Amino acid sequence: MAVAQPTVGAAPRKRPSRWQTMWKSISIVFESRVATIGMAMVLFWVLLAFISLFWTPYPPNATDFVQNLPPNATNWLGTDHLGRDLLSRLMQGTQVILLKTRLPFANISFPIGVAIWGVIGSVIVGAILGLNAGYRGGWWDQITMQILDALIAFPVIVLYLVVIAALGQGDLVVILAITITGAPGVARLVRSLALDIKTRDYIRAAETRGENVWYIMFVEILPNARGPLLVDSMLRVGYAIFAIGTLGFLGIGLPPPDPDWGNMVNEARKSIFANQTAVIWPSVAIASLVIGLNLFADGLREELTRYQK
Amino acid sequence: MAETRSPDNKSPVLKLDNVAVAYKVRGGEIEAVQNVSFEIARGEAHAIVGESGCGKSTVAWAILNFLGANGYVKRGSIKFLGQELVGKSGEELRRLRGDQIGMVYQDPMQALNPSMRIGEQMKEVLTVHRGMSDDEAADRCIQMLERVYMPDAANVMKRFPHQISGGQQQRVVIGMALLNNPALLVMDEPTTALDVTVEAAVLDLIAELRRDFDTAIMYITHNLGVVARVSTRVGVMYAGEMVERGAVEDIFDSPQHPYTQGLIRCVPKLGADKASSLLYPIRGRVPPPNNRPSGCVFSPRCDYVEDRCRDERPQLREMPNRTWVRCHFAEDIDPAKWTPAEDITVPEIADGDGKKDIILQLDGLRKYYEVQGSSLKDVFGMGEPRYVKAVEGASFNVPRGSTLGIVGESGCGKSTLIKTIIGLESSTEGKAEFMGFDITTNLDDRNEKLIQELQMVFQNPDSTMNPSYTVFQQIARPMRRFSTVPREQVRSEVLKLLEAVRLGENYLERLPRQLSGGEKQRVGIARAFASRPDLVLADEPVSALDVSVQAAVLNLLLDVQREYGTTMLFIAHDLSVVRFFSDYVAVMYLGQIMEIGPAEAIYAPPYHPYTEALLSAVPIPDPNVKQKHIRLEGAVPSAISPPEGCRFNTRCPRRELLPDPDICLTTPPWRETDDGHRIFCHHTLETLSSFEPVIETQSKKESQYAS
């Protein structure tokens, strides 16, 4: 039998604890095989990132070994063209994407990685624009969406180059670049959700209460858009990782000293005749994390939109 | 168990025996329908009636094998013309369905393909299943369209579905279902989406076709009035089981099962009002399919429940009057001795205490919407502006503490009128005052105090509450916003309101998805009353609810209204509900108020001809009532260019009685009686009074359930 429904006049049931309700909402992931596999892939990298905070096999930037070694017993994944341990560098490379963002001045980092901050940025900007366009409609809608459509029409790489050329390299600049390229897409999604939600009676009720426009947009509409928005952001984290990889490959991504997957691919490419395997590891890392996020998001979307009783 | 008796040697067209249908869902299986047995003979219309979630549609889908990927027939047999349908392959069934079984669904717009011409869609039925040539098929289709009284049939064939009205679309669907002369016609709420006057005409058509085509009809509906009008036999379903089955007269005259009795008791009678009669809701609610009681499914809500009912599931058995009942104690239950259970409170009605200060005053209020034309001129803003005249010259006064009901068919402007009053739209012209304040502007220009005094109850229970917030948060919000109660008392005040709508403290932290439709509607009512408004506008507050819940919510609204002394405007399309609930009634047609006055006066002569037509169209849940037969012709004209003079003149059945029918092209005068009843018609009051009443009750048993 399915999950029991609360019924009227039923004997007073014990309210489920917070942990139980949380577990219930997480357990939805396991309903879908796709989402479970995706989550496992993502968790693998998150775990690796956490481990690398405290321990890597060797210091990632130490040039302790022979150059361009293939995988062997000491260096499981081999070494690069400067004789650095690839496994250590791969592990450390997860940090900037998922766990920390480095500030340009001093030597300080703050938590949560560049890819995720970039997505948070585009969701915030996109939500504000999309809500205004969708709920207010009329000229707001026309002007906002025309500008955003124009922005979408630019090739993304060109946009990245423009931002980085104007502001220089750095973690914050990459975040800004991801925000600018991601916001129009989020805005479109939020707008379409807002257009639908604003026709509901509870929005009429808020209006007949004389609520402020911002209250209606952020308190009445936005929370009901969270499902699709969550799934979309997860996909976007994948795209952001992709974008960081691309920028790194072009040599304009995250600055050293921390290793960057895209940059690792680029450097290994140069010595591909000496060591064929070195190019594979960072590529597989990028691909598996992005695919993991995609599978997770897809499975979750399917499960969330499925009929449930 | 199986019914062997067949009245005239005819073998049944359809025979269901102990059918159970189950759906696979996440983490298990739900048996949506259990132990359903019935049979339908040729020329018989068998109605299946019940509240939503009782499995009516599931039965129909099981017959047609439309259960979807996760549903299947778990037990029992479905025999159609002697063939077993359960276990048949998809292809065989597909052939059978197109050829021998016709279907009509609720929403004709969704049944017809919007990108195909009507002729193409209809012809396909014949060319595919009968192998007819195209021309031959076209001729048959035109004949069929004429048969279902489609005006200008040959032309309709060339049109797209959106180019004809809803009632006409449903005629096309019915015609299409009959093209192959099917042995069985399954109709799933075919008139629910239609307006009363259109519904009446479609029901007439169905009754006529049943006689002419000798088809077996399975008619699914939730509306007891419709049952009384179209069917010969009825099966009452409750929580996935058929609890009673019999001839339509027997079911209405002497219902045996407590559920059927309760169902009939909680529908307001047309002509009953809140002062003289009461509605008795059935307590509790339909149990969800995964949580049905182990004994009699109705036992938790039954007034006659005994221990045996909780332990042992009753079987369907035949009673002396040939109805079949699923109840252990059917013989012992005498509905005449029924008294309301103690935990059902029925509101006492305060008499009008003579206090007649006017709270809301409209004078010639108009609301026009500008429409954008599509010509090049319009694109550049140079075309002549055109308007949808949604509300035209509405004038009325509403005394404090009373209720004005507004009735009319869809598109008559009743919702626009309410939106204009509450300020979701600003009015175009005319005067509107609320307690002396001007309310012609929209919400942006109204001050806080005024906004607080006008609140609204909405129609759709699923969208009336924000799914992200708890009951407490939603009811508390208006209190905090308008600071009607000090901060620390909000919680106790919310509890008080919840109590008023009969919900307990354990509802405070629930989210909307944990509530049933009726409960959501109650929270919506509590929220509307939370800011202590003087005027509450209710837009079809009960039309989306099941009848047993509807009765409870109506009682509750009356109760809360009395407690807070609130004035109400009440919109509904159901004339009996409006009659029951309101002190004054306004009848609207095409943006114009046609008749307005005290509720009892509206439902007796003198009538406006439109009101007369409306009343004669309402399906009445009593086969003994005689109703005058008036059907309106044509469709409601466009509100962009409404007819000149009296807006009803194009369809008025009484127009020809006037010495000079052309007078209807001029604006009619308001005819006023002594008791404030006003009719917008060229006919004199004497003529209007000379019409016989639309509804005549011949029944002797009426008092049995009414008092």
Q: How many C-beta neighbours within 10 Å does residue A122 have? A: 26
pTM of the model: 0.81
Average pLDDT over residues A101-123: 86
Higher pLDDT: B131 or A205? It is A205
Strands B625-627 and B45-49: unpaired
Q: What gap in Å lies between CA A70 and CA A80, rounded to an integer?
A: 9
Give percent of chain A above pLDDT 90: 39
What's the angle, vertex CA B331, arms to CA B330 and CA B334, rounded to 5? 85
- What pLDDT is recorded for position A287? 93
A121 within some domain: yes
- Give yes or no for a cis peptide into B653 (omega within 30° of 0): no
A11 touches chain B (CB under 8 A): no
Together in a domain, A184 and A203: yes
Contacts 24+ apart (CB under 8 A), B150-156: B150/B175, B156/B118, B156/B119
Together in a domain, A125 and A107: no
CB contact under 8 Å between B454 and A12, yes or no, is no
Inter-chain contacts counted by CB atoms under 8 A, chains A and B: 90
Nearest residue in chain A measured CA to CA from B28: A1
**Among B25, B288, B467, beta carbon nearest to A5:** B288
Distance from CA of A237 to the nearest CA of B (A): 25
Structure tokens at B509: 């932290």
A36 within some domain: yes
A298 within some domain: yes
What burial class does residue B154 get, using C-beta atoms within 10 Å of its C-beta: 0-12 exposed, 13-18 middle, 19+ buried?
A: middle
Average pLDDT over residues A45-63: 88
Residue A309, pLDDT > 50, answer no
Nearest residue in chain A measured CA to CA from B506: A12
B290 touches chain A (CB under 8 A): yes
Together in a domain, A104 and A133: no
Q: What gap in Å lies between CA B545 and CA A201, rounded to an integer?
A: 16
Together in a domain, A164 and A184: yes
A252 within some domain: no
* B chain contacts of residue A202, beta-carbon cutoff 8 Å: 463-466
Together in a domain, A189 and A210: yes
B228: confidence class by pLDDT, cuts 50, 70, 90: confident
Q: What contacts B455, CB < 8 A, 6 or more positions away? A: A208, A209, B422, B478, B528, B529, B531, B533, B535, B536, B537
Interface test with B, best of A8, A32, A215, A217 (most B CBs within 10 A): A8
**Among B291, B423, B468, beta carbon nearest to A224:** B468
- The radius of gyration of chain A from alpha carbons, rounded to an integer in Å, stands at 23
Residue B134, pLDDT > 80, answer yes
Strands B241-247 and B233-238: antiparallel
Q: What gap in Å lies between CA B484 and CA B480, rounded to an integer?
A: 7
**Among A2, A210, A308, beta carbon nearest to B451:** A210
Phi-psi category of residue A259: left, alpha or beta, with phi > 0 → left and psi -120 to 50 → alpha: beta
Strands B45-49 and B71-80: unpaired
pLDDT digits (tens, 9 = 90+) for B629-679: 888 877 778 888 888 888 888 888 888 888 888 888 888 888 888 888 899
- Phi and psi for A6 in degrees, rounded to 5? -70, 135
Higher pLDDT: B341 or A269? It is A269
CB contact under 8 Å between A309 and B459, yes or no, is no
* A chain contacts of residue B26, beta-carbon cutoff 8 Å: 2, 31, 306, 308
Amino acid letter, residue B174: I
Together in a domain, A203 and A261: no
List all residues of chain A from 205 to 264 with a beta carbon under 8 Å from chain B. 205, 207-211, 220, 223-224, 226
CATH of the domain at A150: 1.10.3720.10
Together in a domain, A170 and A273: no
Interface test with A, best of B23, B24, B26, B453 (most A CBs within 10 A): B26
B379 touches chain A (CB under 8 A): no
Distance from CA of A53 to the nearest CA of B (A): 38
B110 touches chain A (CB under 8 A): no
CB contact under 8 Å between A5 and B25, yes or no, is no
CB contact under 8 Å between B26 and A306, yes or no, is yes
Distance from CA of B44 to the nearest CA of A (A): 36
Nearest residue in chain B measured CA to CA from A7: B287
Q: What gap in Å lies between CA A246 and CA B35, rounded to an integer?
A: 64
Amino acid letter, residue A26: I
Distance from CA of A302 to the nearest CA of B (A): 13
Interface test with B, best of A208, A218, A219, A302 (most B CBs within 10 A): A208
- What pLDDT is recorded for position B440? 86
* B chain contacts of residue A209, beta-carbon cutoff 8 Å: 451, 455, 477-478, 481-482, 531
Together in a domain, A179 and A84: no
Give the position of tokens 């002497």: B254
A14: confidence class by pLDDT, cuts 50, 70, 90: low
B473: confidence class by pLDDT, cuts 50, 70, 90: very high
Residue at which a domain ends, from A198, A233, A268: A233
CB contact under 8 Å between B443 and A210, yes or no, is yes
CB contact under 8 Å between A224 and B514, yes or no, is no
A144 within some domain: yes
**Alpha-carbon A112 to chain mean position:** 11
pLDDT digits (tens, 9 = 90+) for A21-37: 778 777 878 888 899 99
A175 within some domain: yes
How close are the terminal C-alpha atoms of chain A, in Å?
A: 10
- What pLDDT is recorded for position B195? 83
- What pLDDT is recorded for position B478? 92
* A chain contacts of residue B28, beta-carbon cutoff 8 Å: 1-2
Structural domains present in chain B: 14-115+160-250 (3.40.50.300), 358-587 (3.40.50.300), 604-697 (no CATH)
A308 touches chain B (CB under 8 A): yes
Q: SS3 for B62?
A: helix
Q: What gap in Å lies between CA B268 and CA B190, rounded to an integer?
A: 23
- What pLDDT is recorded for position B472? 93
Q: What gap in Å lies between CA B673 and CA B666, rounded to an integer?
A: 22
In this prediction, the answer to ipTM > 0.85 reads no
Number of domains present in the structure of chain A: 2
A36 touches chain B (CB under 8 A): no
Residue A10, pLDDT > 50, answer no
Structure tokens at B695: 């509804």
Helix H or strand E segment including B456: strand B454-457
* A chain contacts of residue B531, beta-carbon cutoff 8 Å: 209
Q: What contacts A228, CB < 8 A, 6 or more positions away? A: A189, A193, A301
Residue B537, pLDDT > 90, answer yes
pLDDT digits (tens, 9 = 90+) for B116-133: 999 999 998 888 888 888
Nearest CA-CA partner of B482 in B436, B527, B524: B527
Q: What gap in Å lies between CA B81 and CA B39, rounded to an integer?
A: 11
Residue B246, pLDDT > 70, answer yes
Q: Taking the CA atoms of A99, A104, A108 and A110 in sequence, report the sign of the dihedral they define.
A: negative
* A chain contacts of residue B30, beta-carbon cutoff 8 Å: 1-2, 309
Residue-number span of the structural domain to which A120 is assigned = 116-233
The three-state DSSP-derived secondary structure of B360-427 is: EEEEEEEEEEEECCCCHHHHCCCCCCEEEEEEEEEEEEEECCCEEEEECCCCCCHHHHHHHHHCCCCC
Together in a domain, A102 and A128: no
Contact A226, A289 (CB under 8 A): no
A90 within some domain: yes
Average pLDDT over residues B422-439: 88
Contact B479, B531 (CB under 8 A): yes
Amino acid letter, residue A4: A
CB contact under 8 Å between B454 and A208, yes or no, is yes
**Among A4, A210, A223, beta carbon nearest to B291:** A4
Nearest residue in chain B measured CA to CA from A13: B506
B641 touches chain A (CB under 8 A): no
Structure tokens at B607: 């009538």
Contact A138, A188 (CB under 8 A): no
Distance from CA of A178 to the nearest CA of B (A): 30
Q: SS3 for B535?
A: strand
Nearest CA-CA partner of B62 in B93, B29, B28: B93
Contact B569, B361 (CB under 8 A): no
Together in a domain, A165 and A227: yes
- Phi and psi for B92 in degrees, rounded to 5? -60, -45
Q: What contacts B625, CB < 8 A, 6 or more positions away? A: B695, B696, B697, B698, B699
List all residues of chain B from 504 to 563 with a beta carbon under 8 Å from chain A. 506, 509-510, 514, 516, 519, 524, 527-528, 531
Together in a domain, A219 and A125: yes
- Phi and psi for B643 in degrees, rounded to 5? -60, 150
* B chain contacts of residue A3, beta-carbon cutoff 8 Å: 27
B285 touches chain A (CB under 8 A): yes
CA distances from A221 to A124, A232, A236, B378, B683 (A): 14, 17, 22, 34, 52
- Phi and psi for B367 in degrees, rounded to 5? -135, 115
B466 touches chain A (CB under 8 A): yes
B414 touches chain A (CB under 8 A): no
Contact A65, A83 (CB under 8 A): yes
Contact B265, B278 (CB under 8 A): no
A137 within some domain: yes
**Among A205, A306, A307, beta carbon nearest to B458:** A205
Q: SS3 for B464?
A: helix
Together in a domain, A193 and A229: yes
Which of A110-124, B1-15, B434-448, B549-563 is the least confident region? B1-15
A307 touches chain B (CB under 8 A): yes
Q: What gap in Å lies between CA B195 and CA B574, rounded to an integer?
A: 10
Nearest CA-CA partner of A90 in A302, A287, A291: A287
pLDDT digits (tens, 9 = 90+) for B55-66: 888 888 888 877
A138 touches chain B (CB under 8 A): no
Contact B47, B221 (CB under 8 A): yes
